[in-house]
Amino acid sequence: MDEQKVDYEGRAALLKALAHPVRLRIVRGLLVCGCRNVGCMEANTGQSQSCISQHLMRLKAAGVVKCSRSGNEVYYEIANPEVAAVIAAIFGDREGEYQCTTSRS
Protein backbone atom coordinates (compact mmCIF):
# COMPACT_ATOMS: atom_id res chain seq x y z
CA MET A 1 0.00 0.00 0.00
CA ASP A 2 1.36 3.41 -0.97
CA GLU A 3 1.55 5.40 2.28
CA GLN A 4 1.31 8.67 0.33
CA LYS A 5 -2.13 7.76 -1.02
CA VAL A 6 -3.73 6.55 2.21
CA ASP A 7 -6.42 8.95 3.44
CA TYR A 8 -5.63 8.93 7.15
CA GLU A 9 -7.71 12.05 7.80
CA GLY A 10 -10.77 10.52 6.18
CA ARG A 11 -10.36 7.22 8.02
CA ALA A 12 -9.90 9.04 11.34
CA ALA A 13 -13.05 11.10 10.66
CA LEU A 14 -15.02 7.91 10.01
CA LEU A 15 -13.80 6.38 13.26
CA LYS A 16 -14.62 9.59 15.18
CA ALA A 17 -18.15 9.56 13.78
CA LEU A 18 -18.61 5.97 14.97
CA ALA A 19 -16.94 6.54 18.34
CA HIS A 20 -20.05 6.68 20.52
CA PRO A 21 -22.11 3.77 21.88
CA VAL A 22 -25.43 5.17 20.59
CA ARG A 23 -24.02 5.85 17.12
CA LEU A 24 -22.53 2.35 17.00
CA ARG A 25 -25.92 0.91 17.92
CA ILE A 26 -27.69 3.02 15.29
CA VAL A 27 -25.24 2.07 12.54
CA ARG A 28 -25.20 -1.62 13.39
CA GLY A 29 -29.01 -1.59 13.51
CA LEU A 30 -29.10 -0.08 10.03
CA LEU A 31 -26.72 -2.72 8.73
CA VAL A 32 -28.55 -5.62 10.34
CA CYS A 33 -32.12 -4.45 9.67
CA GLY A 34 -31.75 -2.27 6.60
CA CYS A 35 -33.34 1.11 6.04
CA ARG A 36 -35.09 2.42 9.17
CA ASN A 37 -36.81 5.47 10.61
CA VAL A 38 -36.20 7.24 13.91
CA GLY A 39 -39.14 5.48 15.57
CA CYS A 40 -37.53 2.09 14.97
CA MET A 41 -34.21 3.42 16.27
CA GLU A 42 -35.92 4.68 19.44
CA ALA A 43 -37.26 1.20 20.13
CA ASN A 44 -33.90 -0.44 19.35
CA THR A 45 -31.72 1.90 21.42
CA GLY A 46 -34.04 3.04 24.20
CA GLN A 47 -32.98 6.63 23.45
CA SER A 48 -35.26 9.62 22.88
CA GLN A 49 -36.11 10.94 19.43
CA SER A 50 -34.09 14.10 20.02
CA CYS A 51 -31.03 12.11 21.14
CA ILE A 52 -31.20 9.87 18.08
CA SER A 53 -31.71 12.86 15.77
CA GLN A 54 -28.57 14.52 17.13
CA HIS A 55 -26.54 11.36 16.55
CA LEU A 56 -27.99 10.95 13.05
CA MET A 57 -26.98 14.53 12.22
CA ARG A 58 -23.40 13.69 13.21
CA LEU A 59 -23.45 10.46 11.18
CA LYS A 60 -24.95 12.23 8.17
CA ALA A 61 -22.37 15.05 8.32
CA ALA A 62 -19.61 12.42 8.31
CA GLY A 63 -21.13 10.67 5.28
CA VAL A 64 -21.93 7.51 7.22
CA VAL A 65 -25.69 7.61 6.63
CA LYS A 66 -28.03 9.15 4.10
CA CYS A 67 -31.75 9.73 4.32
CA SER A 68 -34.81 9.79 2.11
CA ARG A 69 -38.30 11.06 2.79
CA SER A 70 -41.50 9.10 2.29
CA GLY A 71 -44.48 11.24 3.24
CA ASN A 72 -43.90 12.45 6.78
CA GLU A 73 -41.32 9.77 7.54
CA VAL A 74 -37.57 10.04 7.03
CA TYR A 75 -35.73 6.78 6.46
CA TYR A 76 -32.01 6.29 7.00
CA GLU A 77 -29.57 3.88 5.41
CA ILE A 78 -25.83 3.41 5.26
CA ALA A 79 -24.17 5.73 2.74
CA ASN A 80 -20.56 4.58 3.00
CA PRO A 81 -19.84 0.92 2.17
CA GLU A 82 -16.63 0.99 4.25
CA VAL A 83 -18.79 1.28 7.37
CA ALA A 84 -19.95 -2.32 7.06
CA ALA A 85 -16.37 -3.61 7.14
CA VAL A 86 -15.54 -1.50 10.20
CA ILE A 87 -18.64 -2.59 12.12
CA ALA A 88 -18.12 -6.24 11.15
CA ALA A 89 -14.54 -6.06 12.46
CA ILE A 90 -15.61 -4.45 15.73
CA PHE A 91 -18.46 -6.88 16.46
CA GLY A 92 -17.14 -10.04 14.82
CA ASP A 93 -20.05 -10.11 12.37
CA ARG A 94 -19.94 -11.41 8.83
CA GLU A 95 -20.31 -8.47 6.50
CA GLY A 96 -22.24 -10.56 3.96
CA GLU A 97 -25.13 -10.99 6.41
CA TYR A 98 -25.83 -7.26 6.60
CA GLN A 99 -28.89 -5.75 4.93
CA CYS A 100 -26.84 -2.75 3.81
CA THR A 101 -28.17 -1.49 0.47
CA THR A 102 -24.99 0.38 -0.44
CA SER A 103 -22.65 -1.71 -2.54
CA ARG A 104 -18.94 -1.32 -2.93
CA SER A 105 -17.96 0.24 -6.22
Residues composing the chain? 105
- For the chain, the average pLDDT equals 89
Domains of the chain listed by start with CATH number: 10-96 (1.10.10.10)
Q: Which run of H or E residues covers position 88?
A: helix 82-91
Where does the pLDDT of residue 18 fall: very low under 50, low under 70, confident under 90, or very high at 90 and above?
Answer: very high
pLDDT for 25-76, tens place per residue? 999 999 998 778 999 999 889 999 999 999 999 999 999 999 999 999 999 9
- Give the pairing of strands 65-70 and 73-78: antiparallel
pTM for the full predicted model: 0.87
- What's the pLDDT at 31? 94
